[in-house]
Structure formats: structure tokens, C-alpha cells
A = this chain, B = another copy of it.
Amino acid sequence: MDATRWLDEREDRAWRGYRRMRRLLDLELARELTQDAGLSEPDYDVLSDLSETPEGRLRLSELADRMLWSRSRLSHHLSRMQQRGLVTREECADDARGSIVVLTPAGRQAVESAAPGHVAAVRRHLIDLLTPAEVDALGELTHRVVDRLADPGLRATRPQPAAEV
């Protein structure tokens, strides 16, 4: 019974624009990051999140949650980064299962020298192309969408197959 509500012209423009921007921005930022700093975007994200903590150390699961990565993916990626000397793993004192990811001096060096260029690229290709009002709107709108997606309770009305108490 449901005649699909397709996207009208404006909605379509927004959706296509979003996807295209997503792709192009990614390619360009990754390209510059590799060229200028020898890091991939995932590398940078790991290092960046780590460096935001005072000690440069985070529980693996905590880091995974922040990054919205699976523990498995993070574990694999850390192994590679460990090979390159960017991070180390230490045992967790209060939970013997746990593992703590630690930024090495080389790792900190790597983010710190990559960061200015990366921020500049983000500005050049995105932020500085927007009006202040657009920046605010983008912040507002993305957070609204994120809050919905992050909270399974709010995840809203999708035709349910069946009710369960």
C-alpha cells in the first residue's frame, strides 16, 4: 500500500551532493595526508584520538567505541601501526583481559607534525568554503542525525515485523 515517497528534486540534490562530497573529500584528504605525512586517514584518526588524552593512552575498547570501530578492526590496525612503531600495547592493571594502547614518542611526533597540514586541508576544502551560518547549520544538523542513530530508542518508526513485549 505504500506508494514510495521518492526524493524530490531538492532532496535528491542534497543527497547526491552529500555522497559526492563525502567521496571527493575523502580522496583528497587521504591523498594529502599520505603525501605530506605518510599516514592514512585511519592512522591519523587513531593517533589523533590517542593524543587527545593527557597520557596518550586508552583502553582498546574505549578507543574502539570513540572511533565507532569494531574491536577486531582496531586490533588488526593496531598490529600494523605497532609494526611501524607508532603505538604500543601495555597490559591493563585492573583488568587482565584488557589491553592499553599507548602512543609512542614517534607516534606523537607523527600526529603533531601531520596535524597542522591536515587541519589546513580541512579548512581549504570544506570549512573555509562555508559561511559561519552554514558551519552552524552543519553542526546542528549532523548532531541531530547522529543523536538519532546513536540512540537505538529514538531510531524510530520503521515498519516493525512484529511487536515484542
Taking beta carbons and an 8 Å cutoff, which residues of A are in contact with B?
Answer: 2, 4-7, 10-11, 13-15, 17-18, 20-25, 27-28, 68, 115-116, 119-127, 129-130, 132, 134-146, 148-150, 156-158
Known: A17-B138, A119-B7, A136-B10. A24 touches B126 (CB 8 A): no
B132 touching A4, Cβ below 8 Å = no
Contact of A14 among B25, B125, B139 (CB under 8 A): B139
B4 touching A124, Cβ below 8 Å = no
By secondary structure, the A interface counts as helix
Q: Name the B residues within 8 Å of A119 (CB-CB).
A: 4-7
- A125 vs B22: C-alpha distance in the bound complex, in angstroms? 17
- A126 vs B149: C-alpha distance in the bound complex, in angstroms? 10
Q: Name the B residues within 8 Å of A127 (CB-CB).
A: 7, 11, 14-15
- A149 vs B23: C-alpha distance in the bound complex, in angstroms? 10
A110 to chain B, nearest CB (A): 16
A146 touching B10, Cβ below 8 Å = no
| Supplied contacts A17-B139, A129-B144, 13 more A-B pairs, CB within 8 Å | A6-B119, A15-B126, A17-B138, A17-B143, A20-B142, A21-B145, A23-B68, A24-B145, A24-B149, A121-B158, A125-B148, A125-B149, A129-B145
Q: Name the B residues within 8 Å of A140 (CB-CB).
A: 134
B116 touching A4, Cβ below 8 Å = yes
Interface hub of A4, A11, A122, A135 (most chain B Cβ within 10 A): A11
